[in-house]
Chain A
Amino acid sequence: MAWMGFLPDTPTASDPLHLPEWLNFECTACGKCCTSGWTVRVTPVIASVIEKSEIASKKKEKGYLPLEISQSTGHQILGFGEGKKCVFIDPDNRCDLHAEVGAFRKPLVCQVYPFDLSKTPAGYYATASFACPAILAGVGPSVAEQRPHLEMLLATYGSSVPHRDRFADRILLTEGLSLSWQQYLEFEQALLNGIAAERPGPYLIKTAALLIEASLAGDPWNPDEVVAQARRLSAPDVLDLLADLTASALAVLEHPEDLQAQQEFGTRLRYAPPAESGRFPISFSALELGRTFDQITEEVLVRYLASFIFGKRLLRGSLLNGLLFLAASIEVLSAYLAGLAQARTGPAPSFRDLELCFELVETEFVTHTEVFRPLIDEHEKKLRQRPRPLPEFEPT
């Protein structure tokens, strides 16, 4: 890569890259990722490319800052043009920087999007953001065709490519308990096997409850049995916990700044629905966990869940934490979808509605661990402290 003028910091070309080949992707130049006001971190190498570029000088002449410093993190980030638009996006949703310096010297965040990489003992696992409408709809060929692009990126920039490190030898199940990487993969496979047939929110939290129960009791490791039991289990206390978590998460999303409004909203939603939304012109009816949708929406949900899990996004904190996050995210998404459904005629959501809901969950919930972690931690603790009840199964 001599033409780049610098060397990759870690040679990682040999790390295997695992792609969710059941997703399709082709950029439609919709411009959403470049016009939504997202923070794009710029590494020092790319920052110097930008500073030397002609387009950056032109932007400066027009009074825009090509690079800014993030007030929250202190990192160097891309500047903004009009409103929430990236400083470099042109009116046709094309990148001016790309046009001048080429695809491989744009900020790495821009090069990797909509993919999301996790580095693990078995190489990189990719998934993709469902905030991207092309991923959501599944436009274009299989993401298998993105392999050369992503491998080139990793070979060139190594671990500077934005990713999450999952390099630990042990996977934290919850405080004081851990799994080997192999055990985690076995669990993940067992979980994925049931994902299309079950209502995801209840399935995920019941699996989490039984996994922790079995581990605390020192039962022999048998993830298939844990998942099979979760599918049969009726556990009203666990579902209540998910309902509380969902209501609290919705309250924070609806009233991010106002603690009192959060409490009022949460209580109203749980005990005296409907509750009005502050974000959309909709109201939330009583929470109904594991809500079912039309088959078009269901297909998207299954694709989302499978990609989330395959991409190792359950491993952000402890595994239990990840399962709670995903269960709650599906219920939050379902609550918004159901609210929007009341305000429309016709049997399926408009693509716009699906887009809004997935964008909300992807950009304001599952990725906002710092805001929601205390809430998730609190429910993780409750799940751990749950007494192991006598087995109680739904009649078959």
Chain B
Amino acid sequence: MTNQNSLPIVHLPPFQNYSCTSCGRCCRQPWGIRVDSHAKQEIVDSQTAKSVTREGYLPIETLNGVELVGRKPDGACVFLDGQNMCLVHGEKGSQSKPLDCQTYPYLMTETPDGFFISVSFSCPAVVAGFGKPVEQDREELERILSDHREEALQDEPVGESLEVLQDMTVDWGSYLKLEPLIMQAFRPDLPVHSMLGMAVSLAAFFHPANPAEELSLSRLNLAAPLDLGGFDLELCTLFSTIIISILEREGQPEERQSFSDRLAQGELLESYLYGVPLPEFAILSTPDQMTSQVIARHFLAHLFGKKLLAGPLVSRLLGFACGYTILLFYLQAFRQQDSEKHFSFAALDRAFDLVEASVITHTHSLDGFFLEFENLIMEALGRVFEESTRGPN
């Protein structure tokens, strides 16, 4: 999607600040960073690659046929120096780095109306909203998208027709009318509850068995959700505890069932990931206004940046409901450990990193659960609609 000057149309979130603080976290994430063909040429020709090789590391590793930047035994990128600076960047400039490194923390989605940009809340500077408005990076992003569109995109482009449910599509124009309704229904102080409410309402609205004669978006009110008698909260507890057990017992699949069962039953467990005691499992509200402000920015960034379209919309909303459940649960655990009663940036930053990296943004490995969550909500709604058409006998 380009305009007359053949520069891509790029939409940046107007409510987010970001400047890199060289904290080095993204260079230590256990992410597979693809080495695109341009970066490969630059790296192979560099002095940096030679010295990395001399130290006994592979500058580029091949995993299942995909070329990735090399890693040191501690997981850090082989090109990261002691000052959290990139050796490739230092030697040959920013544009010689892999595209993932050039664009992070920006997340780009192509749509019929151009590219929409979100930001990753795995990045502490993004969580804090540190630095300049993201508008400052427009030219850089336009250049990257103009020269390297294919390689810079993380997700499939959003087409003229997009999935709102697994077998129900709407056109792009209708989706754009849904977006403000979603924004209005979102409650940063009650992220899980409001997310479930809008997911159930949307699922009901588009449900094939919905007896309403005429579907009109103007009559859709996502802020007044349909009541499933707490079934949506039960499912959210089920899926969230399963996901927590997968995160906590990654290497011990045989222990996951018991971990999630005990968690859901309210047992007090210890976190294997972080070595902290976990609180009793609950679906929590946001503990304070400072945290609410960050959650609001997080959701708006992903809504604006079209990250809710990385799968069927309802399943993504349900995925975000699980994401916020897990975020607030670990936030409570980290705050208890710091004995902080009011607000803790360090705890919030850690919890966001977990959820972004391992639940909703940098992984698709849990998408199956969210699709199943959607199926179960659809079945429950089917029963509600069946009863209501049968009448009160």
Contact = CB atoms under 8 A, between A and B. Distances in A.
A204 B134 CA distance: 27
**Interface size classification for chain A:** 20 to 34
A303 B289 contact: yes
A296 B293 contact: yes
A298 B297 CA distance: 13
Given A28-B342, A346-B124, A351-B343, A295 B288 contact: no
A253 to B, nearest CB: 24
B220 interface: no
B271 to A, nearest CB: 22
B341 interface: yes
Interface in A126-166: 133-134, 136-140
A49 interface: no
Given A299-B293, A346-B124, A139 B129 contact: no
B284 interface: no
Contact of B17 (A24, A140, A294): A294
A138 B345 contact: no
Interface string B124-145: 1101111100000000000000
B293 A134 contact: no
B128 A300 contact: no
B301 to A, nearest CB: 12
Contacts, number: 80
Contacts of A349: 345
Nearest to A300: B290
A348 interface: yes
Given A137-B288, A295-B128, A346 B344 contact: no
B289 A137 contact: yes
Contacts of B292: 138
Contacts of B342: 28, 30, 133-134, 136-137, 139, 351, 355
Nearest to A298: B129
A350 to B, nearest CB: 6
A39 to B, nearest CB: 24
Interface string B328-347: 00000000000011111110
A347 interface: yes
A296 B129 contact: yes
A138 B288 CA distance: 5
A295 B341 contact: no
Given A348-B130, A351-B343, A296 B287 contact: no
Given A295-B17, A295-B129, A295-B297, A346 B289 contact: no
B294 interface: yes
B122 to A, nearest CB: 13
Nearest to B125: A347
Nearest to B290: A137
B21 interface: yes
Contact of A24 (B125, B129, B289, B346): B289
B23 A351 contact: no
A24 B189 CA distance: 11
A196 to B, nearest CB: 12
A350 B17 contact: no
Interface in B84-131: 124-125, 127-131
A139 B23 contact: no
A351 B344 contact: yes
A139 B287 contact: yes
Contacts of B21: 346-347
B127 to A, nearest CB: 8
B341 A30 contact: yes
B341 A294 contact: no
Contacts of A296: 128-129, 290, 293-294, 345
A347 B294 CA distance: 14
Contacts of A350: 345-346
- Candidate in A136, A138, A303, A345 with the most chain B CB atoms within 10 angstroms: A138
A30 B343 CA distance: 13
A138 B188 CA distance: 13
Contacts of A30: 341-342
21 contacts: A24-B288, A30-B341, A30-B342, A133-B341, A136-B342, A138-B292, A140-B288, A294-B17, A295-B16, A295-B297, A296-B128, A296-B294, A296-B345, A299-B293, A346-B21, A346-B124, A346-B345, A347-B124, A347-B128, A347-B131, A348-B130
Interface of B: 16-17, 21, 23, 124-125, 127-131, 287-290, 292-294, 297, 340-346
Given A28-B342, A299-B290, A299-B293, 4 more contacts: A30-B341, A137-B288, A347-B128, A348-B345
Interface of A: 24, 28, 30, 133-134, 136-140, 294-296, 298-300, 303, 345-351, 355
